[in-house]
Amino acid sequence: MSASESVAESGSASRSKAVRPRGARSPLASFGLHATLLVASVIAVFPVLWILLTSLKPAKYAISTDFVKEPTFDNYANLLESSHFLSWFWNSVLVAGVTTVLGVFIAATTGYAVSRFKFPGMKPLMWTLLITQMFPMAILIVPLYNLMGDLGLLNQPLGLIITYLTIAVPFCAWMMKGFFDSIPVEIDESGRVDGLNPFGTFWRLILPLARPGLAVTGFYAFITAWGEVAYASAFMVGEENLTLAGGLQTFVTQYTSNWGAMSAASVLIAIPAAVFFLFAQRHLVAGMTAGATKG
Amino acid sequence: MAADTSRSVTGAAAGETTLAGRGPGPGRTTAKSAGAAAGSPRGGFRRALATHWYAWAMVAPVVLVLGVIVGWPLVRGVYLSLTNASERNVARTIGVRHIEATYEFVGFDNYAAVLGDPVFWQRLVWTVVWTVACVSVTFALGLTLATILNRQFRGRSAYRMALILPWAVPGFVSVFAWRFLFNRDNGILNKILDGGGISAVPWLDDPTWAKVAVIAVNVWLGVPFMMVALLGGLQSIPAELYEAAEMDGAGPWQRFRHITLPGLRAVSMTVILLSTIWTFNMFPVIFLLTRGGPGDSTEILVTQAFRQAFVASPRDFAGSATWGVLILGLLMIFALVYRRSLRKQGEVW
């Protein structure tokens, strides 16, 4: 892990007078490294931090440049009292939650089948899953909108859930394939020797082992649905039917900007997601690249 | 039970082939030989059913669901692109009165209109510029940060957490945060510039600055994923390679060029493909930051299609579907070309 760095160091060490131990760094290199990272970190953190600070200022100071000014929770109180924030939040939880559960449930066996079996139709299926994932919503949004209109599902969470399944199902199947690939096939064989059929092997042996993978897949599906903007903006109208993505837009329109409420809402949406995410992120990347490279 | 066992054995053998050779070959040959052995095509099907029904049953839910909620709308979208459907002539219900659809089939008129319209080509050029700019800058920054973070030093995990933060915040929240920072008169960015004696930059009100702004925000959103994925790739490169190269007298640049870059190739290919597709279709950044404006200067293909169906009045469903089909076509061509180039380089994908 530190190889590249120790190699680089010993290279320069041979030129300088004092011989540094492997892995040590010249003060200048050290300074450059920390300076680069510090600048990058500030850029990464500042927008989020600034919104947090703004949310704690009285609304009239929202646009002041002071870091902290008469800190107060008024923005939060106002947000919860005089907007539909809680209904938006509930709508988002409902839509994203049900989408996740259904997506993982429907896609689990498919992920297993494409990981373990060679069967006629597998290649086209894999391609369909891949291509569906890169579908721009532009191609499906109009027909889905008309379909939901015909079924009376516009403005209904159910309509949005069905719509999000178009994203979640191929994605979940693809990602789970990656996780099932990482489970040794010998486990399946031992199950078969013991007389389990493929369903039994899947259900009793593989699924319990794949539980972390399922959790990661589900988490991903959840945050994808949670952050979706296009369908939510087109399908949900009327203040209290919106999801968070739609609701946040109502604070900042072309004519008025309620930055106080916007910042408070942003914090309430972002902080739980961010905390959860930072715990899970190591697994997230492993899963995504595994699913993608082992296709 | 006997039949059952034989099936499971076939399944297990097939499973092994899957894991052993991921090339394109084995699946097809297996299927072919099974068909040939059975003699008649019907017998072949029955035999295939007997062998593969487990697999087919397992994929059935996904095939069904995708058929209904993706396949059907897709077919319908293609059909709509061949009609003149708009808000005025689709079937709709007003109160209790149901009005039948009156739109007509117009053949390829919409495609001729879109492809003959300079607007499409302008959008396409900007979409390509936007995608290439975002992906290349994101990749360069991600690789730089990953290389630095791959070293051992104090505070590494703290930096790592800070740098991942933009990824952890839901995208639409970040975009609103940036809109707040970019505000022309009251945004913190202009106030900082003002403090340094630089006059206010019309971040979102000037076509050129707006383009810079949307790219900057998208890069900010995309770097963490890129960085973490590449960091994973870096850590999987064996340290012995670097030691051996050092013994042979390779300099830092040579080691980067001949060990790090080839070692990262599989991961790089994947993340570049993913982020190209994501960026090409990146709706929220443009829609929430500039709404395609000022004017239509930052409108990409996807937001344009959305605008036609849901913002413009009257809503132009046929036009939007036409744009959608064209976007899908472009992406599929891209994926095919990309796959072919991977094949040429010997990547199995």
> What Rg do the C-alpha atoms of chain B give, in angstroms?
27
CB–CB of B162/A45 below 8 Å?
yes
pLDDT tens digits for range A140-169? 888 898 888 888 888 888 999 999 999 899
The residue that leads in pLDDT, A43 or B198, is A43
Burial class (CB in 10 A: 0-12, 13-18, 19+), B347: middle
Whether the ipTM is more than 0.90: the answer is no
CB–CB of A213/A180 below 8 Å?
yes
pLDDT tens digits for range B163-185? 988 988 998 999 989 988 888 77
CB contact under 8 A, A43 and B220: yes
A10 contacts chain B (CB < 8 A): yes
Of B140, B247, B161, residue with least CA distance to A3: B247
Predicted pLDDT at B322: 92
CB–CB of A225/A119 below 8 Å?
no
Most B CBs within 10 A among A15, A36, A60, A139, hence the mutation to make, goes to A139
**Å between A142 CA and nearest CA of chain B:** 6
Predicted pLDDT at B106: 85
In what helix (H) or strand (E) does residue B103 lie, and over which residues does it extend?
A: none
A148: which chain B residues are within 8 Å (Cβ-Cβ)?
Answer: none
> CA-to-CA distance for B145 and B140, rounded, in angstroms?
9
CB–CB of B264/B83 below 8 Å?
no
Whether the per-residue pLDDT at B348 is higher than 80: the answer is: no
pLDDT tens digits for range B13-65? 343 333 333 334 343 444 444 444 444 566 777 777 777 888 888 889 999 99
pLDDT tens digits for range B116-138? 989 999 999 999 999 999 999 99
In what helix (H) or strand (E) does residue B190 lie, and over which residues does it extend?
A: helix B188-195
CB contact under 8 A, B267 and A227: no
pLDDT tens digits for range A232-287? 988 888 878 888 988 888 887 766 778 888 889 999 998 888 888 887 776 666 65
- Tell me the pLDDT band of B347, cut-offs 50, 70 and 90: low
The residue that leads in pLDDT, A101 or B197, is A101
Instruction: Choose the closest CB to A173 out of B55, B62, B69.
Output: B62
The residue that leads in pLDDT, A282 or A116, is A116
What is the residue whose two structure tokens read 């039917």? A241
Q: According to the per-residue pLDDT averaged within each range, which of A121-125, A198-202, B134-138 is highest?
A: B134-138
| DSSP-assigned states of every residue in A25-68 | --HHHHHHHHHHHHHHHHHHHHHHHHHHHHHTS-GGGTT---S-
Percentage, residues of chain B above pLDDT 70: 85
A115 contacts chain B (CB < 8 A): yes
> CA-to-CA distance for A29 and A35, rounded, in angstroms?
10
pLDDT tens digits for range B254-285? 888 889 988 898 888 888 888 888 899 899 99
Which 178-197 residues of chain A touch chain B by CB within 8 A?
181, 185, 188-189, 192, 195-197
In what helix (H) or strand (E) does residue A154 lie, and over which residues does it extend?
A: none
Whether the per-residue pLDDT at B92 is higher than 80: the answer is: no
Instruction: Choose the closest CB to A113 out of B55, B73, B325.
Output: B55
Whether the per-residue pLDDT at A14 is higher than 60: the answer is: no
Rounded to an integer, the average pLDDT of B99-112 is: 82
Q: What is the pTM of this model?
A: 0.81
Burial track A126-155 (b if 16+ CB lie within 10 A, e otherwise): eebbbebbbbbbbbbbbbbbbbbbeeebbe
Give the pair of three-digit tokens for residue B207. Answer: 């076509």
Predicted pLDDT at A3: 44
End-to-end CA distance of chain A: 27
The residue that leads in pLDDT, A289 or A99, is A99
Rounded to an integer, the average pLDDT of B85-95 is: 75
pLDDT tens digits for range A131-144? 887 777 778 888 89
Predicted pLDDT at A6: 43
**Å between B235 CA and nearest CA of chain A:** 6
For the CA atoms of A167, A47, A75, A236, the dihedral, rounded to the nearest 10 degrees, stands at -20
Most A CBs within 10 A among B151, B185, B258, hence the mutation to make, goes to B151
CB contact under 8 A, A138 and B11: no
Predicted pLDDT at B23: 38
> CA-to-CA distance for B113 and B122, rounded, in angstroms?
14
B168 contacts chain A (CB < 8 A): yes
Burial track B115-148 (b if 16+ CB lie within 10 A, e otherwise): eeeeebeebbebbeebbebbbebbbebbbebbbb
Instruction: Choose the closest CB to A123 out of B27, B186, B323.
Output: B27
CB contact under 8 A, B220 and A44: yes
CA angle B65, B71, B77 (to 5 degrees): 140
Torsion-angle region of A121 (φ positive above 0: left; ψ -120 to 50: alpha; else: beta)? left
CB contact under 8 A, A47 and B179: no
Of A223, A208, A205, A211, residue with least CA distance to A276: A223
Whether the per-residue pLDDT at A37 is higher than 60: the answer is: yes
Torsion-angle region of A280 (φ positive above 0: left; ψ -120 to 50: alpha; else: beta)? alpha
B309: which chain A residues are within 8 Å (Cβ-Cβ)?
Answer: 141-142, 145, 234
Instruction: Choose the closest CB to B59 out of A110, A244, A292.
Output: A110
